[in-house]
């Protein structure tokens, strides 16, 4: 991925900021947008008082709250945003175990926003459980729609001999993934622009994906899943993975599904696509009720709940 010189300088500044925050013991657990909004609406939360307020809760801050070096790095990274007499950061930093990850600030209104949140933690758990129990050695893996790079980084750290591709259609996601890989000290992750698997070649021992699964009126890349109820991208991933998994290769798909009158239309569609002896697969609900606030949005009038689900598919031959 080729970057302009000013982007290279900006990304280097973000990397240095991440290194400073990690050295200072900074940690932040990223929550849902609804929980984030409720916390920021509380009395006393109008202005940042700590670094977690600045880089986690995305609250306006006085320049004197951060060090001169941190302020300079924010300026060089081009993520310093005026907010009246105060400033805000256009990025957040969140923790996942020992990883520290840069992603978009709250609220994530921009079309190219880079997502990280509770889904990322559940996605990470699905990957961790698979890597602990799978007998198949991973040589070539890909994280589809990598976002902040969570999937790619977890695989790369667990299988340091493997070649791991992180792909996304969002250039900002690729930049943030590269920064997060450098901060994590992994050298076996390559970032590449690709619409799902269309832009890269080869077969894979492991394909992971945490695609968007909502209906989003603004069609934001990180959030809009397409189709009638947000399942289009998830099904496209299953279809492409069938063609690109090597022998004994596995797809790990963490996604969400809108349940209507007790019916899981995604599961029904997957049954059709994975019929036959070539595939072994398991589909399970990870969380029966996520993002309940979405039910008030257009298109969800008949939806009872949104469930987080995990699909594991293995090619038998």
User: Are residues 222 and 196 part of one domain?
Assistant: yes
SS3 200: coil
In the listed set 73, 104, 135, which residue is the last one of a domain according to the structure?
A: 104
C-alpha span between 21 and 93 (Å, rounded): 9
Note the pLDDT of residue 221.
Answer: 76
Higher confidence at residue 271 or residue 220? 271
- Could you say which of 104, 136, 171 is where a domain stops? 104
pLDDT range class, residue 52, cuts 50, 70, 90: very high
Partner residues linked to 191 by β-bridges: 166
Model confidence pLDDT, tens digit, residues 205-247: 999 999 999 988 777 777 778 888 889 999 999 999 999 999 9
Task: Tell me if 304 is assigned to some domain.
Answer: yes
**Pair 60, 131 in one domain:** no
Is pLDDT above 70 for 1?
Answer: no
The CATH number for 268's domain is 3.40.50.150
pLDDT digits (tens, 9 = 90+) for 183-213: 999 999 999 999 999 999 999 999 999 999 9
Q: Does any domain span residue 155?
A: yes
Long-range contacts of 5-10 (CB under 8 A, 24+ apart): 6/78, 7/175, 9/76, 10/76, 10/77, 10/78, 10/79
**φ, ψ dihedrals at 305, nearest 5°:** -165, 165
**Model confidence at 164: pLDDT above 70:** yes
Q: Are residues 97 and 138 in the same domain?
A: no
CA angle 87, 89, 95 (to 5 degrees): 140
Indicate if 75 and 180 belong to the same structural domain.
no
Strands of 159-297, DSSP E: 163-168, 189-193, 204-209, 245-259, 279-287
Same domain, 138 and 281: yes
Out of 71, 104, 137, a domain closes at: 104
Give pTM, 2 decimals. 0.95
Residue 161 has pLDDT above 80, yes or no: yes
Residues 31, 160, single domain; the answer is no
282 and 136, same domain (yes or no) = yes
Q: How far is Cα 103 from Cα 73, in angstroms, rounded to an integer?
A: 16
SS3 81: strand
Residue 93 confidence (pLDDT) above 90: yes
How many folded domains does the chain comprise? 2
């Amino acid at each position: 991925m080729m970057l302009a010189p000013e982007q290279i300088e900006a990304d280097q500044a973000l990397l240095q900021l991440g290194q400073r925050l990690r050295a200072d013991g900074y940690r932040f657990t990223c929550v849902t947008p609804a929980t984030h909004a409720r916390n920021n609406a509380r009395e006393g939360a109008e202005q940042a008082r700590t670094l977690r307020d600045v880089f986690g809760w995305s609250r306006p801050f006085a320049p004197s709250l951060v060090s001169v070096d941190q302020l300079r790095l924010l300026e060089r990274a081009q993520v310093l945003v005026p907010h009246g007499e105060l400033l805000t950061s256009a990025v957040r930093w969140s923790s996942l175990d020992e990883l520290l990850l840069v992603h978009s600030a709250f609220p994530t209104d921009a079309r190219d926003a880079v997502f990280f949140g509770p889904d990322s933690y559940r996605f990470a758990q699905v990957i961790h459980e698979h890597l602990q129990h799978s007998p198949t050695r991973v040589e070539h893996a890909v994280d589809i729609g990598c976002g902040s790079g969570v999937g790619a980084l977890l695989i790369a750290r667990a299988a340091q001999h493997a070649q791991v591709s992180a792909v996304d259609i969002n250039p900002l996601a690729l930049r943030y993934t590269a920064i997060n890989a450098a901060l994590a000290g992994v050298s076996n992750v390559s970032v590449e622009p690709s619409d799902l698997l269309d832009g890269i070649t080869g077969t894979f021992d492991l394909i992971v994906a945490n695609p968007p699964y909502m209906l989003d009126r603004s069609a934001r890349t990180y959030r809009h899943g397409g189709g009638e109820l947000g399942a289009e991208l998830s099904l496209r991933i299953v279809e492409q993975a069938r063609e690109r998994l090597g022998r004994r290769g596995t797809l790990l798909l963490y996604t969400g599904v809108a349940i209507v009158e007790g019916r899981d239309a995604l599961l029904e569609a997957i049954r059709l696509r994975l019929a036959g002896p070539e595939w072994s697969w398991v589909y399970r609900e990870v969380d029966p009720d996520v993002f309940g606030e979405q039910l008030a949005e257009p298109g969800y009038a008949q939806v009872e709940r949104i469930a987080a689900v995990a699909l594991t598919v293995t090619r038998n031959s």
